[in-house]
Amino acid sequence: MSLIKINNISKIYGNGDVSTKALDDVSLQIEAGEMVAITGPSGSGKSTLLSILGCIDIPTSGDYYLDNELVSKLNSQQLAKIRNKKIGFIFQSFALINEYSVLENIQIPLKYRKIPLKESKIKALEYLKKVNLEECKKKKPSQLSGGQQQRVAIARALVGNPDIILADEPTGALDQKNGEEIIKLLLDINAQGKTVIIITHDSGIASYCKRNIVIKDGKIVDDLVL
């Protein structure tokens, strides 16, 4: 059974003459443990697909099954629980809270699970060590380099032990050296059995993945196994 299965998904924003079809009858399956790049030009529908895969948004029509559960019909509260339990997000802009320390940022997913504070600190520190930033635990995100901030974001994505890591242009705000380090981390995460899905317009980043799905004008136009 596929970990992710979407059947005939469409997403329309707006109404009538001002409506936009961001996704057009998309069907897709992703197996557990795959490392997949979803590529395409700006405005192709990549971000909309990411939002639906990440249970941030729901389709206008069609069905989305995550781990054999029909999630496209769930309400916002149910989707939030799915996100917190099964999905880790890594964003181009890092999405860290500067008022919080590095360690506190990593604890955020555990807070929503109502994990006791002492336990969540131990867990967050464990994942901070995995990205080699233990010495930065008390710093604020603004005191870190871009590459360090993205590693904190990866630790936050991993701390809840999700099944899926969704990375939206994870190297877009980084220089080449830091970008390569982040890709190596994602490869390591995948090697440990996690399903990794990278949204990117960069063919160089996509080349690290064993499967490339190309989307254009809201449709999948190619699905390549490398």
The CA distances from residue 116 to 112, 113, 122, 137, in Å, are 10, 9, 10, 19
Give strand pairing partners of 4: 30, 66
Distance between CA atoms of residues 166 and 74, nearest Å: 20
pTM: 0.94
Of 98, 103, 140, 109, the closest CA to residue 124 belongs to: 103
What's the confidence (pLDDT) of residue 56?
Answer: 94
Of 176, 184, 81, the closest CA to residue 130 belongs to: 184
Distance between CA atoms of residues 58 and 62, nearest Å: 10
In this structure, are residues 162 and 87 in contact, taking their beta carbons and an 8 Å threshold? yes
Of 155, 160, 159, the closest CA to residue 141 belongs to: 155
Q: What sign for the dihedral angle of Cα 115, 118, 124, 126? A: negative
Please say if the pLDDT value at position 1 is more than 80: no
Q: What domains appear along the chain, each with residue ranges and CATH number? A: 35-40+75-225 (3.40.50.300)
Distance between CA atoms of residues 67 and 203, nearest Å: 29
CA angle 180, 186, 187 (to 5 degrees): 90
Distance between CA atoms of residues 214 and 33, nearest Å: 20
pLDDT 10s digits, 192-223: 999 999 999 888 999 999 999 999 999 999 99
Per DSSP, the three-state class of 4 is strand
pLDDT 10s digits, 54-83: 999 999 999 999 999 999 999 999 999 999
